[in-house]
Amino acid sequence: MSHWLSALPPVAVYLIVAGVIGVESMGVPLPGEIVLVSSALLAATGVVEPEWVAIAAAFGAIAGDSIGYAVGRRGGRPLLARLGRRFPKHLGPAHLARAEQSFARHGVWAVFFGRFVALLRILAGPLAGALHVPYRRFLLANAAGGLVWAFGTTYLLYSVGRAAEHWLKDISWAGLVLAVLAGLGSTWWLRRRAQRLEPVGPVDADDDAEPVSAGTDR
């Protein structure tokens, strides 16, 4: 991914980052996190600017989630069911039930921590709209999660990548390994917290999850 992105002009990289993450946030399974990590590592080599990578990622995340919210609010559960039939491995009935239960239990906090969890990152916007979560609360959690995820991931990988390049110029693979490990460590704590959003036991795909009320906000 990094090799392919390095062949593009910087503006194209920023547009790809914003576009892929934005479409993923609308509810379409795409490798948004992989694109962000690859672009952040590319920034460490000086090909692109880290601030623009982070801005593009944050814009894509916030705008994509907001569009997904509007689509979900308009289309409701029938829309989510159609997405599940189209992407059964990613958004099937069991996935939808787990995500809906997370919203029912945790309200808009599911949107914030969902930015660090693959399933909720895809479903947060459409599901919040379908469940009629108040938009102001959704937007606050959406913006906070998007900014922390985008800038935190980008600058941590960029900083470690620059340090690795300076001290390990002749061992490029070691710099890459350190950068990847740093990226994993950067989200470890948030992923651990996000795991609390998951149901304790297995969820039956045929069971209806408890609907979230408009005032849910924990």
Its pTM stands at 0.69
Would the pLDDT of 150 be above 90?
yes
The rounded mean pLDDT for the chain is: 77
pLDDT in tens, 13-24: 999 999 999 999
Alpha-helical (H) ranges within 87-134 are: 88-91, 93-106, 109-114, 118-130
The mean pLDDT of 163-186, rounded to a whole number, is: 56
Would the pLDDT of 172 be above 80?
no
Would the pLDDT of 203 be above 60?
no
Q: Give me the torsion for CA of 203, 209, 214, 215, rounded to 10°.
A: -50
Tokens of 197: 């959003």
